[in-house]
Structure 1
Amino acid sequence: MSEAEARSESVGTVMVAGAANLAIALAKLVAGLISGSAAMLSEAAHSVADTTTEVLLYLALRRGARPADVRHPFGYGKESYVWAFLAALFTFVAGAGFAITHGVTTILVHQHSGHYFVSYVVLAVSFLIETVSLGRAVRQIRREARRWRTTARRFLRLTPDTTVKAVFLEDTAALIGILLAGIGVALSQLTGDELYDGLASIAIGLLLLVLAIVLAKANISLLVGRSIPERLRHEVEQELAALPTVDRIDTLLTMQLGPEDILVAAKVDFHDDVTGADIETAADEAERRLTERYPEIAYVFLDPTPSRPGTRARHTRHTQEDPSA
């Protein structure tokens, strides 16, 4: 799968999720207003937050895909993480904040109108629609995991494409939220006590809070300048070390410039007898090998480093290690 195909699939996943969330939000809102259920209204807020998030994620994909220019020579890939971070922030403020405060209010003062049937119907239909959206995200994750020769779980944890990660987590949280709302409404109906409806609303808010924190942390890490996964970094190092004129790799630094762009920079100790022409040839060969094996690598910079006692310890950084890989 090419970069363009992967980006197109992410756009499709986001659009499917956005359309599903918009339809579900309207249905939940109507059901919440008719029934007066705090859990249903919280679920409506949940879906509204998810819909807004999908719009921001769509902007992330479009804005981040712009080509490099004079003012931004490494492209706009990191801008996608700005929009994705704003999406997580909106989930935190709008979704979690409304659900928790409305749940507390319900426990203290609210009286349920008693129209339970419409809530059950909307929750059941919403569950089916969210399952379809989640299924698309899961299929994309599995294809991408096979492309990177890793497990789906590891890909989801380390992927720099936070849009597909956000859709997967949001759809999963939506299904859990629907179940919580259903339990809260059912217990309120059986007991006649609105405590359970309010508690369900608070639980949905806490679920959204956890989701927002997870997504925000992932995007902040990428904005700061996260390295590529450790296994991939070792493979890059092996490719560079395999060049015939290379003695050793003193330092290897990598960074995700965007969901589909990687920067590789290395301090390389060449053999003592190589010429300037040999170094230029080695640099071209390194770029060719790496970009053929990993099309996501957009930039390769090699810095020839003389081999002198103590030089590495005083003037260079040791090879990167990724504790999260």
Structure 2
Amino acid sequence: MAAPGGRTESVGTVVVAGAANLAVAVAKLVAGLISGSAAMLSEAAHSVADTTTEVLLYLALRRGSRPPDTRHPFGYGMESYVWALLAALFTFVAGAGFAVTHGVTTILVHEHSGDYLASYVVLAVSFAIESVSLARAVRQVRRESRRWRTTPRRFLRLTADTTVKAVFLEDSAALIGLLLAAAGVALSELTGDELYDGIASILIGVLLLVVASIPAYSNVSLLVGRAVPARLRGEIADEVAGLPAVRRVETLLTMQLGPADILVAAKVDFADDASGATIEATADEAERRLTARYPEIRYVFLDPTATPGTGHADRDR
């Protein structure tokens, strides 16, 4: 579930998110060093991880959109999932690992070296910047979900464009992380106990673990070779079965070859009196209808076959 035209929009979404994360990372790092807050330093690590993730997602979009060649006749769409998986793993290891480790250290040492004001200012500015980035991702999700006649939640769960899913999740987690950091800093200032700052840092790390695991699972599933969603598969089957010369669709196989590339292969039982020319024309019509209705469908292969038990001989296209 990803439109070819949505690939350009996804690039824009990733670039905006990356620029926002880079600016926020620098501000958080400065505030964390000035205030000594574990939560702020964890948030800085969070933003650094997100910025690196955006770079990897940009590579995923660019390298995955290369056209087919003799060595890769189905294109390079699958490569986008490799880079997106690496992005998720980086968030998992670098961002979450630092946040949890630093939070535990803060709880054990109970040291705080500076003023809290810088933390509050940076948290407020960061929240505004991250909100802008999230708003762009939300607009893209809503636009794509309307095109697919589904809910934004279902679109995010089923979409093959894992870059927009990653950006949406990262920006959502960034806002939650900022709230956690603010709560930790405020409680530490009010109570004079750095325990709350450390707990906030650990919670930010756990949040990153959750956020990284969702796109990681999606990318692994797509790399293995995931079929299109059940509803789309049913619509494809109905489209093929509705052709005049088709008696029934015996087998329908689909696979996501990339964020905006779908392969369709089917064993089709044609009418008894269908000639070779009719079968060829029907196959061409099936491809024309499917690609017109779903621009993501790049390849359509129909295999003329007889219904088991009817005694009809298999036909070659």
Same fold by TM (over 0.5)? yes
In the alignment, which residue of structure 1 is the partner of 2:303?
A: 303
What does the per-residue CA deviation read over 1:112-168, in whole Å, with 9 as the maximum and x for residues that have no partner?
124100000000000000000000000011111111121111111111000111000
C-alpha displacement of 1:3: 4.8
Please, which moves more after superposition, 274-283 or 91-100?
274-283
C-alpha displacement of 1:22: 0.1
C-alpha displacement of 1:305: 1.0
Counterpart Cα distance in 2 of 1:151 and 1:14: 22
Counterpart Cα distance in 2 of 1:237 and 1:25: 48
Kindly tell me the number of residue pairs found equivalent between the two proteins. 310
Counterpart Cα distance in 2 of 1:110 and 1:53: 32
In the alignment, which residue of structure 1 is the partner of 2:58?
A: 58
What does the per-residue CA deviation read over 1:48-100, in whole Å, with 9 as the maximum and x for residues that have no partner?
00000000000000000000000000000010000000000000000000000
Q: TM-score, normalised by structure 1?
A: 0.94
**Structure 2 counterpart SS, 1:14:** helix
Q: List aligned pairs for 1:1-325, cutoff 5 A.
A: 3=3, 5-309=5-309
Higher relative contact order (CA 8 A, sep 6+): 2
In the alignment, which residue of structure 2 is the partner of 1:322?
A: none
One-letter amino acid matched to 2:305:
T
**Alpha carbons 2:35, 2:119 under 8 Å: kept:** yes
**Structure 2 counterpart SS, 1:78:** helix
C-alpha displacement of 1:242: 0.4
C-alpha displacement of 1:4: 5.0
Counterpart Cα distance in 1 of 2:310 and 2:105: 67
Counterpart Cα distance in 2 of 1:144 and 1:3: 8
**Alpha carbons 2:261, 2:298 under 8 Å: kept:** yes
One-letter amino acid matched to 1:277:
A
What does the per-residue CA deviation read over 1:155-202, in whole Å, with 9 as the maximum and x for residues that have no partner?
111110001110000000000000000000000001111110000000
Give structure 2 stretches of 5+ with no counterpart: 312-317
When residues 34 and 310 of structure 1 are mapped into structure 2, their CA distance, relative to the original with a 3 A threshold, is farther
In the alignment, which residue of structure 2 is the partner of 1:315?
A: none
Counterpart Cα distance in 1 of 2:99 and 2:76: 35
Identity %: 78
**Structure 2 counterpart SS, 1:263:** strand
One-letter amino acid matched to 1:40:
M
In the alignment, which residue of structure 2 is the partner of 1:316?
A: none
One-letter amino acid matched to 1:107:
I
One-letter amino acid matched to 2:240:
L
Give structure 1 stretches of 5+ with no counterpart: 312-325
**Structure 2 counterpart SS, 1:227:** coil
Counterpart Cα distance in 2 of 1:99 and 1:173: 14
C-alpha displacement of 1:6: 1.4
One-letter amino acid matched to 2:228:
I
One-letter amino acid matched to 1:113:
S
Counterpart Cα distance in 1 of 2:192 and 2:308: 81
Please, which moves more after superposition, 72-81 or 265-274?
265-274
**Alpha carbons 2:110, 2:193 under 8 Å: kept:** no
C-alpha displacement of 1:272: 1.6
Runs of at least 4 residues off by over 4 Å: none
Q: TM-score, normalised by structure 2?
A: 0.96
When residues 20 and 190 of structure 1 are mapped into structure 2, their CA distance, relative to the original with a 3 A threshold, is same
